[in-house]
């Protein structure tokens, strides 16, 4: 079992999921309190992570003379009874540089606890805006939901973390534009879906539209959420007649 060197850290972490239980007494007491009832063990990687010591974290993984190097991955991956690992405590503490460093060593930023909480949910609950930005940059799943069907954005809203809500709305709008581009490109290159329904001009229009939006994503400085929404609507408008062709039943094809 993964046990932290500071019981305060897990006590606070447990409050996140305790809040999400809506006060139900049916939530497992063992899951919520188990880690506090166990003897605390020393984890050198945790100490470095919670103090923001990125050099110390790297040394444990990379220095062949460090006595903890062989078990570094084990220290990182070990979980408590509800599925929380060292990264959850790091997110709660807002140690973004450490998270970025740990991401180099094979951690799964999309991992979930037993009740479906992700690192994004944790950072959102505790109002760690910079940590949210780091996780999104590292491709954490902003659409992941808990056992209650709530995204990180919903958790931030519940606990009145206004800046986190605004950022996650922005990030979701950006991701939705990206996903639309990917969806269009995948559809237009699928011979089974196209089935000769599109001519060369249709394909050219599609390619140019997707490329234009991709370039916009890569080059636009400080876009707003509304900018993403507008770009997505423009792309949908361009693609509407083309997707109408693709939606035509085969027996009606000319």
Residue whose token pair is 């979980």: 79
Identify the three-state secondary structure at position 173: helix
pTM for the complete prediction? 0.79
Residue 205 maps to a domain: yes
pLDDT, one tens digit per residue, over 68-126 is 888 887 777 777 776 778 888 899 889 999 999 998 887 888 888 888 999 999 999 99
Question: Given a cut of 50, is residue 1 above it in pLDDT?
Answer: no
Q: Do 15 and 109 sit in the same domain of this protein?
A: yes
Last residue of a domain, one of 120, 140, 157: 120
Give me the CATH number covering residue 194.
Answer: 1.20.1270.10
- Whole-angstrom CA distances from 111 to 83, 147, 149, 175 are 9, 14, 16, 19
Question: Given a cut of 60, is residue 8 above it in pLDDT?
Answer: no
pLDDT, one tens digit per residue, over 189-213 is 888 878 778 888 999 999 999 999 9
Top pLDDT among 181 and 79 is at: 181
Residue 187 maps to a domain: yes
pLDDT class of 144 with cuts at 50, 70, 90: very high
Top pLDDT among 50 and 239 is at: 239
Q: Do 108 and 193 sit in the same domain of this protein?
A: no
- The radius of gyration of the chain from alpha carbons, rounded to an integer in Å, stands at 23
Host domain of residue 55: 7-120
Q: Which residues of 108-126 are buried (b: 16+ CB within 10 A; e: fewer)?
A: ebebbbebbbbbbbbbbbb
Across the range 45-60, mean pLDDT stands at 88
Q: Do 114 and 14 sit in the same domain of this protein?
A: yes
Q: Do 11 and 116 sit in the same domain of this protein?
A: yes
Q: What angle do CA 106, 81, 12 make, to 5 degrees?
A: 90
Per-residue model confidence (pLDDT) at position 89: 86
Per-residue model confidence (pLDDT) at position 167: 98
Q: Do 186 and 116 sit in the same domain of this protein?
A: no
Residue 16 maps to a domain: yes
Top pLDDT among 155 and 33 is at: 155
Last residue of a domain, one of 55, 85, 120: 120
Per-residue model confidence (pLDDT) at position 228: 98
pLDDT class of 45 with cuts at 50, 70, 90: confident
Residue 143 maps to a domain: no
């Amino acid at each position: 079992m993964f046990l932290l060197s500071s019981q305060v850290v897990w006590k606070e972490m447990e409050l996140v999921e305790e809040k999400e239980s809506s006060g139900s007494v049916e939530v497992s007491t063992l899951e919520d309190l188990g880690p506090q009832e166990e003897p605390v063990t020393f984890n050198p990687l945790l100490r470095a992570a919670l103090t923001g010591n990125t050099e110390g974290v790297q040394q444990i993984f990379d220095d062949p003379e460090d006595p903890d190097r062989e078990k570094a991955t084990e220290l990182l991956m070990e979980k408590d009874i509800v599925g929380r690992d060292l990264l959850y405590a790091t997110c709660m503490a807002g140690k973004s540089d450490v998270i970025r460093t740990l991401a180099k060593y094979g951690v799964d930023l999309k991992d979930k606890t037993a009740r479906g909480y992700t690192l994004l949910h944790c950072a959102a609950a505790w109002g760690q805006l910079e940590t949210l930005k780091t996780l999104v940059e590292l491709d954490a799943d902003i659409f992941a939901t808990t056992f209650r069907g709530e995204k990180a954005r919903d958790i931030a809203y519940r606990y009145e973390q206004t800046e986190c809500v605004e950022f996650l709305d922005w990030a979701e709008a950006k991701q939705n534009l990206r996903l639309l581009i990917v969806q269009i490109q995948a559809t237009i290159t699928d011979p089974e879906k196209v089935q000769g329904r599109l001519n060369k001009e249709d394909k050219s229009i599609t390619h140019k539209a997707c490329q234009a939006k991709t370039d916009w994503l890569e080059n636009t400085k400080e876009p707003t959420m509304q900018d993403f929404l507008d770009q997505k609507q423009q792309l949908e408008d361009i693609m509407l007649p083309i997707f109408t062709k693709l939606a035509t039943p085969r027996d009606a094809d000319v």
